[in-house]
Structure 1
């Protein structure tokens, strides 16, 4: 028995080069991942396919998958028949989303730096305060915000939405940026301080390149939240500052729901977010996984 154990035992060098055993659950997990992925993508594919159908084919029950394709939904969205142009709402959404995201980053990065690398006193209380601002439902603050905006004459103004979106996304950005900045090696900052680098130079030259994936992830999430926001934009805007989500609701009329037209509008409105996500895909993956593996 002893000789058999000695013959079958592997030396440390042999164990190091031995191929890893394949888990029996690997194929099942792969199949499950594909199933979940298809389950999430299928509604989007169906929306895109419906946008290229006529209203008659889109309203059939069961739906006609192989119906003739047409661009009538997109032509209606861009106002070929109704005369309503989607460009002002799209530009308003782009302006509010981009400017609010830039303001959020300008405010969140120094705050996160003070809460992580140069921690202020009772920084946990500060972080809890930021988190507590997200505990109030948005609808609970809708009436006070409306009355204040009415009192200062800011209704139907794009700058009001920029301020609101900045305040809504700032707590999330501070929490995210603090987790990213906490991964910056302190030794690098101490070396920069010994070399006489100022705080602004340290942030711009050393800290920013290290946490650039985190900045990309934070900015993309803030951009998506601002672009998709509907409640405040619906109540506080009318025609001048109308955003793309509010413009989408105009396609639901008393005559009914026109599926092809709504799907075409939803595809066009979703494109900026998809383009931004694909453009920052590498940085986004790095940012979301930053600090996940120690």
Structure 2
């Protein structure tokens, strides 16, 4: 195998010029400019959503005097006094009962929603009932009623049945509140399951509970995780029902958070510290199920 070396330049002649670069196509330039503009817009929107959170965290690390200054001081000394006050170091109320109540209401209601929404979505997608679209729109129409419109009948019912300040009343309400959106979401996920898998399992003698648990659930696992996370977030952040229907025993974390706004004024640093702590379970659940959430929300988007 031989290699050809470049011929030496002849004395008195000009060196060969490099070949000119091909001109960039105008469509390619426009595409690059559009992608750069979209990337810049995404960064601006991301920072716009992140800055209030960063400001809340920074304010929670300041003393009440520094947090109340106008304009606020960014160079103020940092302290954990607000977090110690939130956890009851100064003799205040302990946040653990409200946090436990929120966890119980959110987890139990999410489990009940999944147990009810999964077979309902199966009936509306894989084995569709008659006029299944009307059924879906009926489920969705229940979300159009403002919660405050049904608050008085629910309060009277809870009072007459002795269920005021009861955590299980919140579990029932959160389950009914999240069930329509869960059925709607899971129906779209289950509609992408190949019917050949179900038919093969049925030919092998699998009954409906086995098909649901061992065939369909692993296929739509990301969709189930996305639905569960959204229902958990909605239940954890709900405050109107919890504010009206609970007082002490079943008080949830969002209601406990409003206790820092008193007639003596707004304890801004303590409110920010409490908001950070109460937001951590939702953030932890989101980060833990991040890949499942993205897969679930994009399931069926690409044909």
TM-score under structure 2 length normalisation: 0.89
Cα shift readout 1:77-129 (whole Å, capped 9, x = no counterpart) = 01111331000000000000000000000000000000000001111121121
Q: Within the alignment, does 1:78 sit opposite 2:94 as a pair?
A: no
Which residue, 21, 38, 41 being the options, matches 1:32? Answer: 41
In structure 1, C-alpha distance between the alignment counterparts of 2:302 and 2:72, rounded to whole Å = 46
Matches within 5 A, 1:27-176: 27-176=36-185
In structure 2, C-alpha distance between the alignment counterparts of 1:135 and 1:109, rounded to whole Å = 22
Pairwise CA distance, 1:206:
1.0
Which residue, 258, 268, 279 being the options, matches 1:259? Answer: 268
Q: Within the alignment, does 1:271 sit opposite 2:275 as a pair?
A: no
SS of the residue aligned with 2:206? Answer: coil
Which residue, 186, 204, 208 being the options, matches 2:213? Answer: 204
SS of the residue aligned with 2:143? Answer: coil
Which residue matches 1:249?
258
Which residue matches 2:248?
239
In structure 2, C-alpha distance between the alignment counterparts of 1:34 and 1:94, rounded to whole Å = 34
Superposition misfits of 4+ residues, deviation over 6 angstroms = none
In structure 1, C-alpha distance between the alignment counterparts of 2:272 and 2:120, rounded to whole Å = 41
SS of the residue aligned with 2:164? Answer: coil
In structure 1, C-alpha distance between the alignment counterparts of 2:116 and 2:210, rounded to whole Å = 17
In structure 1, C-alpha distance between the alignment counterparts of 2:91 and 2:186, rounded to whole Å = 45
Pairwise CA distance, 1:132:
1.4
- Work out the number of aligned pairs and report it: 275
Pairwise CA distance, 1:50:
0.5
SS of the residue aligned with 1:25? Answer: helix
Query: Which stretches in structure 2 are left out of the alignment for 5+ residues?
Result: 1-26
In structure 2, C-alpha distance between the alignment counterparts of 1:275 and 1:31, rounded to whole Å = 28
Query: Which stretches in structure 1 are left out of the alignment for 5+ residues?
Result: 1-19
Pairwise CA distance, 1:21:
3.9
Which residue matches 1:14?
none
Pairwise CA distance, 1:211:
0.4
SS of the residue aligned with 2:108? Answer: helix
In structure 2, C-alpha distance between the alignment counterparts of 1:197 and 1:89, rounded to whole Å = 44
Pairwise CA distance, 1:205:
1.1
In structure 2, C-alpha distance between the alignment counterparts of 1:195 and 1:154, rounded to whole Å = 48
In structure 1, C-alpha distance between the alignment counterparts of 2:28 and 2:211, rounded to whole Å = 47
Which residue matches 2:14?
none
Which residue matches 2:223?
214
Cα shift readout 1:153-178 (whole Å, capped 9, x = no counterpart) = 00000000000000000000000000
Q: Within the alignment, does 1:285 sit opposite 2:294 as a pair?
A: yes
